Structure 1
Amino acid sequence: MGFSDLLDEVGGFGRFQMIHVTLLSIPGLLMASQNLLNNFTAGIPGHHCHIPNGTSRALEQNISVLQVGDQEILQAFIPIEDGPKLAKCTRFTEPQWHLATTNMSVISMHANFTDAETETCQDGWTYDRTEFLATIVSEWDLVCTLRPLKQMSQTIYMGGVLAGAIIFGGLSDKFGRRSMLIWSYFQLATLGSCTALAPTYLAYCIFLSLKVEWIPTKTRTVVGTLSSFFFTFGQLILAGLAYVLRDWRKLQVAVCAPHFLFFLYSWWYSESARWLVLNRKSKEALKHIHRVARINGKPEMVEKITLEVLESHMHKEVQSSKTVYTMYDLLRTPVMRRISICLMVVWFSTSFAYYGLAMDLQKFGVSIYLIQVIFGAVDFPAKLLALASLSYLGRRITQALCLIMAAAIIFANIFVSTEMQTLRTTLAVLGKGFTSASFTCIYLFTGELYPTVLRQTGMGFASTMARIGSMAAPAVLILDELLPSLPSVVYGGSAVAAASSPSFSRNAQHPSARHGGGRGG
C-alpha cells in the first residue's frame, strides 16, 4: 500500500484533481508565450542603411521624387544584393545618381553594374514597420555585425530558466512546492510587467512537479499529455497577441501581467501531502487529504483515513527519505549510469532540436504570425499521436521513432531549394511536430525509468539538460552566416545521436518491474 493507493481511496482522479490540474495548466498558456516570445520581441524587420536628407539631395541633382519615387532614389545610395533587394548592411561611399532612374531588376541582373566603393552604415538603419512596429532589434540596432546579439538574448533568457529551475527546485524541496510556485507567479508578474524585459520563467520545474503530486499513478500518462495541450494552445495565443500588439514592450507586459491573477488563485492550491509527510508534517498532510476527499464527494473517507492510516501508507517512502540521494547516485551503478547518460542525451537533443526549429520562423519568407499559428497547431495532432503510440507501441519505440523522423525531416529540408518555400515550411512543421511528440514521451519515460527514491533527482537532472539544450539552440543559429545549412546539420545530427541512444534497449523496456512500480511506487 502506497500513497497512490490512498489517492484512489479519496476519489482517484476526481473533482479536486480536475480543478487542480486545470488551474495549474492555465499558466501553461503563457509559458509558451514566455519561451517563444523572442520570435516577436526580437523579430528582425526589413532594414537598410539610413540615408539622411536623401530626398533633398536628390532634388539638388534635379531628380524629381514624383517621377522616380523614394525606392529608386535609395538605389543611388544603397547597393542591390540578394535579388532585387536593397543591401541591409552597406551603402555607397558616394551617391550613384545614375542608378536612381534604373530599374532595380536590371541592376540585380548585372552584378558589375557599378564598381562604386561601399561602406558600412554610418548613420544607423531605417526599418520597415509593416510586420513589427518595434522590437529590441530595431530599438537597439541588433543587425549586421550585432545580429548575433539577437540570438544571444534568447540564450540568456534560457540561462535564466536554467538558473531558476536549479534554485527554485532546491527551495521547493525545502519550503514546499506550493509556496515556491506562489512566489514565482508574483515575481514573474511584477518584474515582467514593470521592466518589460525578457523575464525568467522560474516556476517551470516547480509547476510540473506540483501538478502531478495529487494525480494517481495510473492516470498520469493521460494527464501529463493532455495538460501539455495548454502549452500548445499558448503558442496560438502568442501569435494572436503579437499580431495585435506589434510593439515589443506592450507584448512583454501582455504575457506577464496575467500572472497576477495566477498568483491570486494559487492560494487555493493544496500543498503536496507526500512532501508534508516526508517533512514530518503528517497532521497538516492529513488535513489536505481530508479536503481532497470532501471535494471529491467522499466524505466518509474523512473518518476512515486517520493519522495512523496515512503514516502506514507512507511508511516505506518515509524510510527511504531518510537516505539523502544526490546526482552522484544517478551515476553510481552501471545500470543507473547508462540510463542517466542516455536520458541526458535525449533530453538535450529533443530540446535542442525543438527550439532550433521554433526560434527561427522568419526564414520561411511568409508572415511570422501565420507560421507561429501553424507551428503551434501541429502540436495537437503530434501529441495525440504520441499518446496513442505510448499506449500501444510503448515508450521506447515511440521515443526513438519521434527522434528519427525529426532528424530525417530536418536533413531533408537542407536539400530543398529556398525558392520552394511551401515545401520547406511543410517539412519544418512536421519536424517540429515530431520534436514536440518526443518531448511528451521523454517526460513520461524519464519518470518511469528512475526508481521512486531517485525520481525527483533524476527529473531535475534531465530538466537541466533540456534547459542547456534550449540555451544552445539559438546560439547555433548564428552558424548560418558561415553556411546556411549548418544549423540544420547540427540539429539533425543531435537528434540522430539521441535516437540511437542505448537506453532504447531491453534494459529500458520494463522499468516498473525493475524498480518496484511506476511513478507512485
Structure 2
Amino acid sequence: MNSPDYDDSTAFLGDWGPFQRNLFILLCFSIIPNGFTGLSMVFMGDTPAHRCRIPAALNITDEWRNASIPLDEESGFSKCSRHRVDIVRNYSERGLLPWVDVNVSDIPRETCKDGWVYDNETYISTIVTEWDLVCSDDWRVPLTTSLFFSGVLTGSVISGQISDRFGRKIVLFITMGIQTVFTFIQVFSPSWLIFCILFFIAGMGQISNYLTAFALGMEIFSPSVRDIYSTLGVCLFFSIGYMMLPLAAYFLRDWRTLLLVLTIPGFFCMPLWWFIPESPRWLLSQGRVDEAEEILRKAAKMNRVKAPEVIFPRHQSKDSAGSLKTYSLCDLVKSTNIRCITVLLCLVW
C-alpha cells in the first residue's frame, strides 16, 4: 500500500489548497454521525424510577392501593415486588385500614405480575419502559450495549481488510449506509431481540465508517496535514457528535423519535459520494495508475497548480503493485515492539 515516492510525486499539489480544505471538511463531517450512535444508549437505555403496577380494576380503597407497594429501607418504594393483591383486596373488602388494623409489613410479597408504572418526568419512553427491562430482566440493558460494541469490534477487524480489497471510498459509503439505514430500521423494532440485532449491525457500520474515513484522509493528505487530521480533525468532529447527542435528547424524550432524528445527518452525508474521491495511493497500489492520476489532476486544477505530464512512472507503478506485501492480524504480535504497542492499545481502548 505504501509507495516510497508517493509524497514526493504529489508534492506539486501543496499542503493546504482548496482540494485539501474541502476534503478535510467533508471527511470530518462524515464522522459526526458516529458520535451520535456511539453513546445513544445512555439515553435510549436509561432506567427511570418505577414500581409495580396495581391494576385499576382491582376493587380496593385508596389507602390500600397506596400501601400495596412495600417500603424498602434502602431504596424507598420497592421496584420489583408488591404485597399480594388477593390479601390486600380481602383486607380492603373487610374495611380494615393499613397500619391501623393490619401490620402491612407482615403481608407476603409477590412479583410485578401486572407490569410496572414508570416515572415520566424525565423520559416519555426508553427501551427499558418499552420492553420492561427491569428487575429480573435488568441484565438486558448492559447486554444491549455490549452487543453494540461487539459489532464495533467485528467492524474493526474486518473493515480494514475489506477496504484494502475493494477501496476506501466504496467501503466508506457502504458502511455509512449500513449505519444509517439499520439505525433507521431500529426505530421500528418490534422487540428487544430485533433491536439488539440491528444495533449490532449498526455498530459494525459505525466503526467501519470511522476507520475508513480516517485511512482515506491519512492517505490523501500531505504529512503536515495528516497530524492535524488524525487529531484535531476526526477526534474533534467525533466529539461534536457526542456533544450534540445530549442536546437532541433534552428536547426529544421518546427513544424512537430520538433515534429517528439521529439518522438524519447520515442521510445528508450520502451525497458526499460525488465530492469525496478514492484514495490515489490505494489506486496506485492496485496498479490503477490512470485513475490515480486523474484524481490528482482534478485536485491540481482545484488548487490552481500545474500537474506534471507524468505523475507516476508506469514501470515503477507496475513494479509497486506487483510486489505488494499483504498483512494479517498475526502481524500485530509478530515482533516484540509491535506486540507491546498492540497490548497498550488494547488496554487504552
The TM tier, using the shorter chain, reads 0.7 to 0.9
Q: 2:36 aligns with which of 33, 36, 39?
A: 33
Q: Which residue of 2 aligns with 1:327?
A: 329
Q: Which residue of 2 aligns with 1:257?
A: 264
| 8 Å Cα contact 2:172/2:212 also seen in 1 | yes
User: Residue 249 of structure 2 aligns to a residue in which SS?
Assistant: helix
Structure number, greater radius of gyration = 2
| 8 Å Cα contact 1:190/1:257 also seen in 2 | no
Q: Does 1:243 align with 2:250?
A: yes
Q: Aligned partner of 2:333: which letter? A: L
| 8 Å Cα contact 1:192/1:257 also seen in 2 | no
Which whole-Å CA distance do the structure 2 matches of 1:207 and 1:123 have between them? 49
Q: Does 1:206 align with 2:212?
A: yes
Which whole-Å CA distance do the structure 2 matches of 1:272 and 1:167 have between them? 19
Q: Aligned partner of 2:214: which letter? A: L
Which whole-Å CA distance do the structure 2 matches of 1:346 and 1:267 have between them? 39
Q: Deviations over 1:56-103 (max 9, x none)?
A: 5124xxx4xxxxxxxxx65411122254721111112244952599xx
Q: Which residue of 2 aligns with 1:462?
A: none
User: Residue 91 of structure 1 aligns to a residue in which SS?
Assistant: strand
Which whole-Å CA distance do the structure 1 matches of 2:38 and 2:13 have between them? 37
Unmatched segments (≥5 aa) in structure 2: 92-96, 188-194
Q: Which residue of 2 aligns with 1:345?
A: 343
Q: Which residue of 2 aligns with 1:191?
A: 182
Q: Does 1:46 align with 2:52?
A: no
Q: Which residue of 2 aligns with 1:132?
A: 123
Compared CA separation, residues 100 and 146, structure 1 to 2 (3 A): farther
Q: Aligned partner of 2:261: which letter? A: A
Q: 2:223 aligns with which of 204, 217, 225?
A: 217
Following superposition, the deviation at residue 158 of structure 1 comes to: 1.4
Q: Which residue of 2 aligns with 1:161?
A: 152
| 8 Å Cα contact 1:75/1:99 also seen in 2 | no
Following superposition, the deviation at residue 132 of structure 1 comes to: 1.1
Q: Which residue of 2 aligns with 1:276?
A: 283
Unmatched segments (≥5 aa) in structure 1: 64-72, 102-111, 352-521
Which whole-Å CA distance do the structure 2 matches of 1:152 and 1:220 have between them? 37
Q: Aligned partner of 2:39: which letter? A: L
Following superposition, the deviation at residue 125 of structure 1 comes to: 0.7
Which whole-Å CA distance do the structure 2 matches of 1:291 and 1:237 have between them? 35
Following superposition, the deviation at residue 225 of structure 1 comes to: 1.3
Compared CA separation, residues 74 and 329, structure 1 to 2 (3 A): same
Q: Deviations over 1:43-62 (max 9, x none)?
A: 11111111112885124xxx
Q: Which residue of 2 aligns with 1:360?
A: none
Following superposition, the deviation at residue 2 of structure 1 comes to: 2.2
User: Residue 261 of structure 1 aligns to a residue in which SS?
Assistant: helix
Which whole-Å CA distance do the structure 2 matches of 1:100 and 1:217 have between them? 81
Compared CA separation, residues 78 and 217, structure 1 to 2 (3 A): same
Q: Which residue of 1 aligns with 2:302?
A: 295
Q: Deviations over 1:321-369 (max 9, x none)?
A: 2x3222333333xxx2x33333333223222xxxxxxxxxxxxxxxxxx
Q: Aligned partner of 2:55: which letter? A: P
Q: Which residue of 1 aligns with 2:94?
A: none
Which whole-Å CA distance do the structure 2 matches of 1:331 and 1:344 have between them? 7
| 8 Å Cα contact 2:217/2:226 also seen in 1 | no
Compared CA separation, residues 290 and 74, structure 1 to 2 (3 A): farther
Which whole-Å CA distance do the structure 2 matches of 1:307 and 1:232 have between them? 38
Q: Which residue of 2 aligns with 1:402?
A: none
Q: Does 1:15 align with 2:32?
A: no
Aligned residues: 320
Following superposition, the deviation at residue 42 of structure 1 comes to: 0.9
Which whole-Å CA distance do the structure 1 matches of 2:315 and 2:155 have between them? 33
| Equivalent residues in 2 for 1:67-86, closer than 5 Å | 75-81=66-72, 83=74, 85-86=76-77
Higher helix share: 1
Following superposition, the deviation at residue 297 of structure 1 comes to: 2.5
Which whole-Å CA distance do the structure 1 matches of 2:218 and 2:19 have between them? 13
Compared CA separation, residues 92 and 175, structure 1 to 2 (3 A): same
Q: Deviations over 1:391-426 (max 9, x none)?
A: xxxxxxxxxxxxxxxxxxxxxxxxxxxxxxxxxxxx
User: Residue 220 of structure 2 aligns to a residue in which SS?
Assistant: coil
Q: Aligned partner of 1:98: which letter? A: P
| 8 Å Cα contact 2:219/2:279 also seen in 1 | yes
Please, what is the CA RMSD of the aligned residues? 2.7
Q: Does 1:231 align with 2:233?
A: no
Q: Which residue of 2 aligns with 1:141?
A: 132
Following superposition, the deviation at residue 236 of structure 1 comes to: 1.5
Following superposition, the deviation at residue 145 of structure 1 comes to: 1.2
Compared CA separation, residues 311 and 137, structure 1 to 2 (3 A): farther
Q: Aligned partner of 2:98: which letter? A: H
